[in-house]
Amino acid sequence: MDKVLIRELKIETVIGIYEWEKQIQQTLLIDLDMAWDNKMAAATDDYQHALCYESVSNRLTALITQKPVELIETVAEMIAECLMTEFKVAGVKVTVMKPGAVATAVSVGVVIERGQF
């Protein structure tokens, strides 16, 4: 299976378990590996057969910013569910990073894989 990639999709949102975090926006960085058959798009050079990076990015930004979430684990699951149901990807690897969440680390994050690659 082919893959379509998005790297470091930057989303500003309200996320965190602490009260002070619920009052501010923080940055999440999202990496996506999406299982997608690129054969038809490549053979026809036709956009309608491609997985649109912009549509995916815009939808995920809207999804993640629609309401506050406490855990990046929840964000990862929301993303995977959206991509598999709305965009019909066969499988997805989602990495969600939260820079600055731990003072002694550049970033912390989670990785999940759902579906088939």
Residue 98: active-site member: yes
Q: Which amino acid is at 52?
A: C
Distance CA 59, CA 56 (A): 5
Query: Residue 113: which of 71, 86, 83, 87 has the closest Cα?
Result: 83
CA 98 vs. chain centroid, Å, equals 12
Catalytic residue among 3, 39, 67, 98: 98
Task: Please list the active-site residues.
Answer: 98
